[in-house]
C-alpha cells in the first residue's frame, strides 16, 4: 500500500495561501466543499486563521440566463482586469457545462485563456446537494481567495433560481447580463433580479445584433429610471458589450470602480458588508440548526408528519411536541 501523502498542517496552509500557492488554495477550497466532518473542521480552522487577511478584494457577482454570455464576458473582462496588473479569482456556481450551440468563440466559453493567465484563478464550485450549502461554500471559497491576495473576485451564477439572491448577498457589485431582443419573460429573469442589479449589460452587441442591443439599452434605461431611487443614491447604468469586438469592457470596469468609490465615500459599501456578515452568521446558524434538528429528532418528526397528515394531531400541537422532543434530546446529551 502506498502511504497517503501527509496533509499540510493549518500553518502550512495559511503560509502557502498567503504566499499565493494556488495548489494549496485549491486544496483549501476542496476542504470547504467537503462534507466530511474532519475536513470541515480543518476548513473552519483555516478560515479562522485567514479571516484577518480577508475583505480587501472587490467582490463582484455576475448573473444572467444560460447562454447570455457570462463565461465569455468574464473571460474578456478578466483580460481587461489582469492587463491593469490586478489579480482575479473567478468562482462559478453552476459548473454543468451545457451545450449552448452555435458557439462563435468556441472553447473560450470555458475561459481557457483566462485559466492560463498567471494573474487569474478559476474555480467551479461543486453544486452539491447539501442543505442550501452551495452559497456558504462559495462564500467561504471567496474568503480564501481574498486571503490569497486576489484583488477582484467574480462569482458567476445562472440567473434563474435562488442562487443569485445568495450571491447578491455576498458581493459588493452585482451585474446582470441581458440579451437584446428578448422579452424579460423569455429571458427567465424575474423582476426582482433586475432590481438587485447595480448595472445591466446587454451582451453580444456586435454584427446584426448591435442595433437591437442599443435599442434594448434605451428601453432598459428608461424602465430603470421609472423605478424608485435606490437607497445608495446610485443610478443603475445600462451598458452594451461585445466579447467579439471587445467593446464595452472598459466602460464596464470603469463602472465597477466608480460604484466602489461612490459607495465607499458615502459609507454604504462598509455598511453593506457589515450587514452581509450578520446575514451570513444568521443564515449559517439556521443551516446548523436545521442539520442538527434533522439528525436528532428525524424519527419523531416523521411520525408526527404522518399523524398530522391523518389529522390525528393539529400542526400546531405537532410542532410543539417536536420542539419538546428536540429540547429533551439535548438535555440528555
Ligand atoms: N456574437 C457574440 N457571441 C457571444 C458573445 N459572448 C458570448 N457569445 C456566444 O454565446 C454563447 C454562450 O456564451 P457563454 O459565455 O457560454 O454563456 P454563459 O452565459 O456562460 O452560458 P452558461 O454557462 O451555459 O449559463 C457562446 O456560443 C458564445 O460564443 C458576444 O459578445 N458576441
Ligand atoms: Mg457559463
- Tens of pLDDT, residue by residue over 211-261, are 999 999 998 888 887 776 677 789 899 999 999 999 999 999 999 999 999
> What number is the average pLDDT over the span 169-186?
84
- pLDDT-derived band at 89 (thresholds 50, 70, 90) equals very high
Please name the residue whose Cα sits nearest to atom 32 of ligand 1: 204
Residue 245 beta carbon below 6 angstroms from any ligand 1 atom: no
CA distance 42 to 200: 39
Tens-digit pLDDT profile for residues 40-71: 999 999 999 999 999 999 999 999 888 899 99
**Helical H segments across 93-203, by residue range:** 112-115, 133-147, 163-168, 191-196
CA of 280 to the centre of ligand 1 (A): 32
CA of 158 to the centre of ligand 1 (A): 13
Percent of the chain past pLDDT 90, that is, above it, reads 62
pLDDT of residue 35: 84
Q: In this structure, are residues 227 and 261 in contact, taking their beta carbons and an 8 Å threshold?
A: no
Q: Which of 75-79, 160-164, 251-255, 276-280 has the lowest mean pLDDT?
A: 160-164
pLDDT of residue 186: 55
pLDDT of residue 183: 63
Kindly tell me if the per-residue pLDDT of 82 is higher than 50: yes
Higher pLDDT pick, 199 / 99: 199
Please name the residue whose Cα sits nearest to atom 14 of ligand 1: 69
CA of 68 to the centre of ligand 1 (A): 6
Q: In this structure, are residues 106 and 138 in contact, taking their beta carbons and an 8 Å threshold?
A: no
CA distance 74 to 203: 12
Residue 109 beta carbon below 6 angstroms from any ligand 1 atom: yes
pLDDT of residue 187: 60
Interacting residues of 319 by C-beta distance below 8 A, sequence separation 6+: none
Kindly tell me if the per-residue pLDDT of 126 is higher than 80: no
CA distance 67 to 20: 33
pLDDT of residue 99: 37
CA distance 106 to 99: 11
Residue 117 beta carbon below 6 angstroms from any ligand 1 atom: no
Please name the residue whose Cα sits nearest to atom 27 of ligand 1: 103
Nearest ligand 1 atom to the CA of 209 is 1
Tens-digit pLDDT profile for residues 91-123: 987 544 443 433 334 444 578 889 899 999 999
pLDDT of residue 95: 45
pLDDT of residue 46: 96
Residue 242 beta carbon below 6 angstroms from any ligand 1 atom: yes
Nearest ligand 1 atom to the CA of 110 is 16
Higher pLDDT pick, 173 / 161: 173
pLDDT of residue 207: 93
HEC secondary structure over 50-81? HHHHCCCCEEEEEEECCCCCHHHHHHHHHHHH
- pLDDT-derived band at 330 (thresholds 50, 70, 90) equals confident
CA of 109 to the centre of ligand 1 (A): 6
Please name the residue whose Cα sits nearest to atom 10 of ligand 1: 69
pLDDT of residue 188: 58
CA of 106 to the centre of ligand 1 (A): 9
Tell me the pLDDT of the chain averaged across its residues: 87
Nearest ligand 1 atom to the CA of 242 is 31
pLDDT of residue 194: 82
**pTM confidence score:** 0.88
> What number is the average pLDDT over the span 176-191?
72
Q: Which of 134-138, 206-210, 240-244 has the lowest mean pLDDT?
A: 134-138
Higher pLDDT pick, 135 / 309: 309
Neighbours of 99 (CB within 10 A): 7
Please name the residue whose Cα sits nearest to atom 24 of ligand 1: 66
Amino acid at each position: 500500500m502506498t502511504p497517503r501523502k501527509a496533509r499540510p498542517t493549518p500553518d502550512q496552509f495559511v503560509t502557502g495561501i498567503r504566499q499565493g500557492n494556488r495548489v494549496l488554495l485549491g486544496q483549501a477550497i476542496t476542504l470547504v466543499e467537503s462534507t466530511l466532518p474532519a475536513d470541515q473542521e480543518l476548513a473552519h480552522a483555516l478560515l479562522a486563521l485567514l479571516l484577518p487577511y480577508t475583505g480587501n478584494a472587490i467582490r463582484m457577482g455576475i448573473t444572467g440566463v444560460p447562454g447570455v454570455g457570462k463565461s465569455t464576458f468574464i473571460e474578456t473582462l478578466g483580460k481587461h482586469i489582469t492587463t491593469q496588473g490586478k489579480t482575479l479569482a473567478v468562482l462559478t456556481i453552476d459548473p454543468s457545462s451545457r451545450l449552448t450551440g452555435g458557439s462563435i468563440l468556441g472553447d473560450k466559453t470555458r475561459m481557457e485563456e483566462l485559466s492560463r493567465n498567471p494573474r487569474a484563478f478559476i474555480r467551479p464550485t461543486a453544486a452539491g446537494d447539501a442543505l442550501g450549502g452551495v452559497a456558504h461554500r462559495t462564500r467561504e471559497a471567496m474568503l480564501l481567495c481574498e486571503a490569497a491576495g486576489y484583488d477582484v473576485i467574480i462569482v458567476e451564477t445562472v440567473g434563474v433560481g435562488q442562487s443569485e439572491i445568495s450571491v447578491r448577498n455576498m458581493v459588493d457589485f452585482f451585474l446582470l447580463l441581458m440579451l437584446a431582443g428578448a422579452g424579460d419573460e423569455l429571458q427567465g429573469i424575474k423582476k426582482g433580479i433586475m432590481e438587485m442589479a447595480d448595472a445591466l449589460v446587454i451582451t453580444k452587441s456586435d454584427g446584426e445584433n448591435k442595433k437591437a442591443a442599443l435599442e434594448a439599452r434605451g428601453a432598459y434605461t428608461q424602465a430603470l429610471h421609472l423605478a424608485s431611487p435606490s437607497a445608495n443614491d446610485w443610478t443603475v447604468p445600462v451598458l452594451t458589450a461585445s466579447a467579439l469586438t471587445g467593446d464595452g469592457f472598459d466602460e464596464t470596469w470603469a463602472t465597477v470602480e466608480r460604484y466602489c468609490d461612490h459607495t465607499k465615500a458615502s459609507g454604504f459599501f462598509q455598511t453593506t458588508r457589515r450587514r452581509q456578515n450578520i446575514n451570513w452568521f444568521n443564515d449559517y446558524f439556521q443551516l446548523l440548526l436545521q442539520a442538527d434538528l434533522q439528525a436528532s429528532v428525524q424519527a419523531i418528526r416523521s411520525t408526527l408528519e404522518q399523524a398530522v397528515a391523518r389529522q390525528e394531531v393539529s400542526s400546531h400541537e405537532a410542532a410543539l411536541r417536536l420542539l419538546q422532543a428536540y429540547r429533551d434530546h439535548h438535555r440528555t446529551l
